[in-house]
Chains A and B, each alone.
Chain A
Amino acid sequence: MEKIKIGLPRALLYHKYHIFWEDFLNRLGFEVIVSPETNKEILKKGVSLAIDESCLSLKIYLGHIDWLLSRVDYVFIPRIVSLEKKEALCTKFMALGDIARNTFKKEIKTIEYTIDIIEKQWEIFGILKAFSKFEKNPFKIILAYRAAKKLERETEEVKIQKQFTQIKEADNEKPTVLILSHPYTTYDALLGKPIVEFLKKQELSLIYADIVPKKEAMELSKNISRDLYWTYNKELLGAIEYYKDKIDGIVFLMVFPCGPDALVVNLCQHKIKNVPITVITLDELEGDAGLKTRLESFADILKIKKIQDGKRK
């Protein structure tokens, strides 16, 4: 029997959860198809499908779904409402499934389930329900879930250790810069990657805010704000606190228009005084001359400061 094909759009939370998602689906015997790295065609398609006001990341997401439609049986779209009590996620993560179904109408078949900790809808319950029509034995689903979660934890740990080693072995003359952005911005081939590559060429050592011990980061985020309730933004803020003694500068990558980020950027600029921050806003318009000037001069500032600080010591 041919395997059922499940499509994962390489956008939004894919960049955060792909280890778990891919492994879990493989274990249940599905063929997993991931859309390619974002390219201009996917972007163009996404922009034409989405409503004007949605953020660039969501537009890209729809472009990826469009690529998948002719190639898969189902598109995998979990609905993530809340991951912690008294916290929330951006509404687009709640609405993804609805937006996708409403955009593609009859063309799309989705696999969806809800995670909403506030309403006591834990992930495993949602998964059991969503996959019961494919796998009659619930224990197999639970085993696959556990194994995939374990792999996710282990991979995460390896990434964190690798980043720690990089910080420890950091060159004394090479400034360390924290890339502060959501994984779906940082690792997107059109959004974050070109910037990351450019910064590397400027001889900076880059570390990433999404690679951080999560629990500690969440606790530390309270030093910057106690009231912030967007889970993913809290993680990012926590990462600043966690790494603040080890970094020389912060590059905040923000996708236009992002409500939570717009607030958090201002919050950071007010609260973080001794680490230079530069904010880069990404949108679908091109023209990167100003962008390069900005990044280059930021790198210059950090390098000169590093040398001066070195002399003082």
Chain B
Amino acid sequence: MNKDNKFYLGLDIGSISTKGVIIDKDDNIIAQSYLWTEGDPINAVKKVIEELKESLGKEVKIVGVGTTGSARELIGTIFNATVIKNEITAHAIGTLKFHPDVRTIFEIGGQDSKIIIIDNGIVVDYAMNTLCVAGTGSFLSSQAKRLAIPVEEFGDYALRSKKPSKIAGRCTVFAESDLVHKIQMGHTREDIIAGLCDSIVNNYLNNVGKGKNIEMPIVFQGGVSKNIGVLKSFEKITNSEVIVDEYGHLMGAIGVAILAKQSDKEIDFDFEIKDLNFRTSGFECGGCPNNCEIVCVLQGNKILDAWGNRCEIGREKALAKYKQ
């Protein structure tokens, strides 16, 4: 093995799934992994690293680690990441690698939906859903449960529909009552599911995509992009071609791995890190009326970092709590 070959690890830890890739110095993907987060990001990442190691089948020298996704800080701290980056930048960088001419990125994940507008290879605008999760993956899967159809088959049902039902997509609660009403009225499940797909797309375009200049080429990513029904609705409603590619779900991880490569920092990453014992522990500071919730990240009994504090008191308390 050539010792000079340097590799980079990108981790994207989302609310629903955790993604990991290893790229070489030319941005080729040499290993990838995709698992459910299952509410335990630390373990999910350990499993991802395990999988990556197995699929490599040989020793490689990883000199950069990047993290993104909602647990990026936690995982970044634990695995000593060289780059911790938000999902929007990471997704844009990753997508530009595969589609250098992309103008618009639609991304619908488990709890987030985003739109990223790119001009001449740089991000010029973006928007993200706020508190409301209507029209995201978790909305789809809860409706799937109600209809007793596996969410994976949703797309095929939608495609069979000739006349999609009209379903209010403004709010999950209203959509749900609308959906129940349509079932009682005798609409077929195919029509209802196709209607749901349309309502997700309309909701997305009216909320997240409001006022945005949507230009082709459009790339659609995130877990929901695997749903052919939603994809077809997007194409129908925007009246444009929408690209979904096989690496769509890995774009964030790839992007952050590229960013790790571009950074000047280098570390010596050890796969054995997955066997170490990490945990988190929280407490309420109580140092002032703000009573911040402090989260401490621990390796064994050693504190690696703490956050959630608004002022230094919280940090000092955390350090004192786990003093050796």
- Chain A interface residues (CB < 8 Å from chain B): 39-42, 194, 269-270, 276, 281, 285, 289-290, 292-294, 296-298, 300-301, 304-305, 308
CA distance A276 to B123 in the complex (A): 11
Enumerate chain B residues within 8 angstroms of A290, measured Cβ to Cβ.
112, 128, 130-131
A297 lies within 8 A of B289 (CB): no
Min Cβ gap A37→B in Å is 10
Q: A293: which of B86, B125, B291 is its contact (CB, 8 Å)? A: B86
Residues 120 to 165 of chain B near chain A (Cβ within 8 Å): 120, 122-126, 128, 130-131
User: Is the CB of B290 closer than 8 A to any CB of chain A?
Assistant: yes
* Extra inter-chain contacts (20) besides given A290-B130, A293-B88, A297-B89, CB under 8 Å: A39-B290, A40-B291, A41-B290, A42-B289, A269-B211, A270-B211, A276-B125, A290-B112, A290-B128, A290-B131, A292-B86, A293-B86, A293-B87, A294-B128, A296-B85, A297-B87, A297-B123, A298-B126, A304-B123, A305-B124
CA of A270 to CA of B212, assembled, Å? 11
Given A270-B211, A276-B124, A301-B123 in contact, is the A39-B289 Cβ separation under 8 Å? yes
On whether the beta carbons of A304 and B122 are closer than 8 Å, the reply is yes
**6 cross-chain CB contacts under 8 A:** A39-B289, A40-B290, A296-B88, A297-B89, A301-B122, A301-B126
Report chain A residues within 8 Å CB of B25: none
Encoded as 1 (CB less than 8 Å from any A CB) or 0, chain B from 278 to 322 comes to: 000000000011110000000000000000001000000000000
**Residue on A nearest B128 in the bound complex, by CB:** A294
The answer to the question of B70 belonging to the interface, with a C-beta cut-off of 8 Å to chain A, is yes
What is the distance, in angstroms, from A9's C-beta to the closest C-beta of chain B?
Answer: 16
Contact indicator B70/A300 (Cβ below 8 Å): no
CA distance A194 to B307 in the complex (A): 14
Q: Are A301 and B128 in contact (CB under 8 A)?
A: no
On chain B, the number of residues with a Cβ less than 8 Å from chain A's Cβ atoms is: 22
Docked complex Cα distance between A270 and B87 (Å): 27
Q: How far is the CB of B80 from chain A (nearest CB, A)?
A: 20
CA distance A42 to B126 in the complex (A): 35
Q: Report the bound CA distance from A40 to B126 in whole Å.
A: 32
CB nearest to B72 among chain A residues: A293
> B89 to chain A: which residues have CB within 8 Å?
296-297, 300
Once the chains bind, are A300 and B128 in contact (CB under 8 Å)? no
With both beta carbons as reference points, the residue of chain A lying nearest to B69 in the complex is identified as A293
Q: Are A281 and B130 in contact (CB under 8 A)?
A: yes
Q: Which residues of A contact B70 (CB under 8 A)?
A: 289, 293
Q: Which residues of B contact A281 (CB under 8 A)?
A: 130
Q: Which 7 pairs across A and B sit closest by C-beta, in order of nearness?
A: A297-B88, A41-B289, A39-B289, A296-B86, A300-B89, A293-B86, A40-B290
Complex CA gap A281/B85 in Å reads 23
In whole angstroms, how far apart are the Cα atoms of A147 and B88 in the complex? 52
A279 to chain B, nearest CB (A): 9
> What residues of B have a CB within 8 angstroms of the CB of A40 in the complex?
289-291
A204 to chain B, nearest CB (A): 15
Is there an interface contact between A305 and B122, defined as CB atoms closer than 8 Å?
yes
Q: Give residues of chain B (73-125) contacting chain A, Cβ–Cβ below 8 Å.
A: 85-89, 112, 120, 122-125
B218 to chain A: closest CB distance in Å? 19
Closest to B292 in A: A40
Residues of A within 8 A of B128 (CB): 290, 293-294
Task: Collect the chain B residues with CB atoms within 8 Å of residue A41's CB.
Answer: 289-290
Check B88–A300 contact: CB distance below 8 A: yes
In the complex, A300→B89 CA distance in Å? 7
In the assembled complex, the CB of B255 is this many whole angstroms from the nearest CB of chain A, namely 12
CB <8 Å contact, B86 and A300: yes
**In the complex, what's the smallest C-beta–C-beta distance from A4 to chain B, in angstroms?**
28
Name A283's closest neighbour in chain B (CB-CB): B131
Query: What CA separation (Å) do A104 and B70 show in the bound complex?
Result: 43
Among B85, B112, B123, B288, the most chain A Cβ lie within 10 Å of the Cβ of B123
Chain B residues closer than 8 Å to A297, beta-carbon distance: 86-89, 123, 126
How far, in whole Å, are A289 and B74 apart by their CA atoms in the complex? 12
A173 smallest CB distance to B (angstroms)? 15
Residues of B close to A42: CB separation below 8 A:
289
How many angstroms between the C-alpha atoms of A296 and B126 in the bound complex?
12
Smallest CB–CB gap between B174 and chain A, Å?
Answer: 20
A294 and B211 alpha carbons, distance in the complex (Å): 17
- For A269, what are the chain B residues with a Cβ–Cβ distance below 8 Å? 211
Q: How far is the CA of A305 from the CA of B117 in the complex (A)?
A: 13
